Amino acid sequence: MKTSSIARVCLVTLALGASGGGAYVFFASATAGGASWLDWARTALLAITLFWLVLGTSFGLVGSLLPAGRKPAAMAASPRGRTAILMPVYNEDPQASFARIAAMNRDLVRLGAESRFDFIILSDTTRDAVAAEEADWFARLLDEPGAAGRVYYRRRERNIGRKAGNIEDFVSRSGAAYDYALILDADSLMSGETIVEMAQRMDENSRLGLLQTVPRVIAARSFFGRCMQFSAGCFSPHFARGAALLQGDEGPYWGHNAIVRMSAFAACCGLPELSGPAPHGGHILSHDYVEAALLARGGWQVHVDPRLGGSFEEGPDNLIEYAKRDRRWCQGNLQHRRILGAPRLLWWSRFTLLQGIMAYLASPLWLALLLTSLLASVMPQRVFADSVMLEAEAGLMALAIAVFSILVLPKLLIVLRGLLDGRNKRFGGTGAVLISVLVEIAFSTVMAPVMLVLQTRAIAQTLLGTDGGWPATARDGSRVTLSEGFAASWWIVALGISAIGVTAVLTFDSLVWVLPVALPLLLAPFLIAFSSAPLAKRSWLLGTPESLDPPRVVRTYLEVFEAWSKTGVNHFAQGWQLKDAARVSA
């Protein structure tokens, strides 16, 4: 039996046991005076939500206990195969994206490996004014060392199939000229060493269809962005290591910062349109999970390797941008229910798709648990002794503490491990890491109810058939004012007020359970505005190795960007928004 199969059986059994045990304690405590249909319903809701919660956190638990493993020894300087480094762009800031290409190219030139790599910008930009900017900055890119004949740009007139269609267009026209494709996002940045190593791994293992890195978030400026950046830097590699143990040869693909074998990708990943109209049918939005499942179906290995460093991306700097991105991901993941029953998919691939769906469905299920619990408390009172009542309260409190501990334990174990293996030093020392982890836990706890209602709304919008589309995400770190925060979250405040009001009137004793959820909802505008405030760049609080001591390729990128800024005009940097682009192109 393979290691991944044993790990799957163990962790799924653990999650089933823990959720079953939790549901039993809940049922026994909640039904001390006799069970009603509501008690059965909320016990079922708790069992389902707890299963996915325990399974998710068990990845972190296992990852924090597993040895990191040794990276394969460095191989020859240049890989044998030719790689197309693809950067799909869509109305993004071309100066920043193309400066990242320049930095990656300089790194490859430094290593003497550039002859095996071409850069290809695949533009799906719809605004002519932005396309004109792309042409300007591309001309600058051609002056970079060794760029002649190795750096290409093309723009589609119609962006059929969005990003997946953009890549498919390239593969079907030029794919046979390359052995591998390194797929990036407009905000991706990778070191030359990592790019070369990934191509070499493809050379060495002819069954490897896709190799995914775990990108670190860089360049976050706000408190919100720094929390995400710290979480991705400190926790994600451990969670990914734990998950990789279960995934084995059926690992994930996150759509960027990954290398694919061109022939395998072409043979397995031609995505059809789903029957019916959007948002349930039409083009597959979250194509990456599906492509990973199709590669595995075709017999190819799909691996994720958290040991591969030198892989970076940027993230949203405020909750509004985060929620917009999350809305798109939610729609894409829910669409996967149409693919769960696809013929010949491996069972683990189906399970992974289901896990992605549950990542969003969990929110309305938690909300339903809260609502049914409130409803149960206003039902005709059952009469039972005070001692039974106290015992029941103690049982529920113990369960609440257990759920919180499940969420926090892996994070604390990661700090402890960092203390023992010295990793904490790269984050500014154990003291800094511990304080940062506590701040991150506090912030994510306070934000959890807000995220819960945002995700519930996203699911409702998707199921009602409102197509979210794919608006470009602004990653410019612009600060959100209190009035903007209120405009985006007034309905969340109204929900919080309603929850407190209804509970106070109907079942005052239950307020103690409702306030931890409702208070953050009341504070949503303040949380959104406050968390978008900038944090000092080199601050030890929420510091990561990349923010405290930027890697070479990040420094090169910043140098190139700055040098280009001196001689060119970047309308995006001057606060140019897409609406301005629309005005210019109209």
Residue 115 binds other proteins (CB under 8 A)? no
Provide the minimum distance between the beta carbon of 154 and other proteins in the complex, in angstroms, as a whole number: 4
Residue 182 binds other proteins (CB under 8 A)? no
The residue among 264 and 453 lying less far from other proteins, judged by its C-beta, is 264
Contact with other proteins (CB under 8 A): which of 71, 80, 173, 207? 173
Provide the minimum distance between the beta carbon of 485 and other proteins in the complex, in angstroms, as a whole number: 40
Bridge-based pairing state of the strands 189-190 and 180-183: unpaired
Q: Which stretch in 16-24, 193-201, 264-272, 459-467 sits in contact with other proteins by CB under 8 A?
A: 264-272
- The 281-300 contact track toward other proteins, x by CB under 8 A, reads ---------x---x------
Residue 267 binds other proteins (CB under 8 A)? yes
Q: Which stretch in 165-173, 214-222, 240-248, 499-507 sits in contact with other proteins by CB under 8 A?
A: 165-173
Residue 266 binds other proteins (CB under 8 A)? yes
Q: Which stretch in 172-180, 250-258, 318-326, 438-446 sits in contact with other proteins by CB under 8 A?
A: 172-180
Provide the minimum distance between the beta carbon of 170 and other proteins in the complex, in angstroms, as a whole number: 8
Rounded Cα distance between 458 and 360, Å, is 9
Bridge-based pairing state of the strands 83-89 and 117-123: parallel
Residue 437 binds other proteins (CB under 8 A)? no
Beta carbons within 8 Å of 450's beta carbon, 6+ residues apart: 319, 489, 492, 520, 521, 524, 527
Residue 32 binds other proteins (CB under 8 A)? no
Contact with other proteins (CB under 8 A): which of 60, 175, 525, 543? 175
Beta carbons within 8 Å of 505's beta carbon, 6+ residues apart: none
Contact with other proteins (CB under 8 A): which of 71, 80, 154, 538? 154
Q: Which stretch in 40-48, 166-174, 516-524, 536-544 sits in contact with other proteins by CB under 8 A?
A: 166-174
Rounded Cα distance between 131 and 111, Å, is 32
CB 333 within 8 A of CB 357: yes
The residue among 280 and 328 lying less far from other proteins, judged by its C-beta, is 280
Rounded Cα distance between 322 and 324, Å, is 5
Contact with other proteins (CB under 8 A): which of 27, 52, 59, 170? 170
Rounded Cα distance between 93 and 95, Å, is 6
- The 133-152 contact track toward other proteins, x by CB under 8 A, reads --x--x---x------x-xx
Cis before 279? omega within 30:
yes
Beta carbons within 8 Å of 53's beta carbon, 6+ residues apart: 362, 403, 406, 407
Residue 430 phi, psi dihedral angles, 5° rounding: -65, -40
Residue 122, strand partner residues = 88, 154
Element (H, E) at 121: strand 117-123
The residue among 156 and 325 lying less far from other proteins, judged by its C-beta, is 156
Rounded Cα distance between 321 and 319, Å, is 6
Rounded Cα distance between 87 and 104, Å, is 12
Number of residues that bind other proteins (CB under 8 A): 40
Beta carbons within 8 Å of 562's beta carbon, 6+ residues apart: none
Q: Which stretch in 212-220, 263-271, 414-422, 545-553 sits in contact with other proteins by CB under 8 A?
A: 263-271
CB 338 within 8 A of CB 281: yes
The residue among 6 and 176 lying less far from other proteins, judged by its C-beta, is 176
Residue 263 binds other proteins (CB under 8 A)? yes
For binding to other proteins (CB under 8 A), which residues are involved? Answer: 120, 135, 138, 142, 149, 151-157, 168, 170-178, 262-263, 266-272, 274-275, 290, 294, 338-339, 341-343
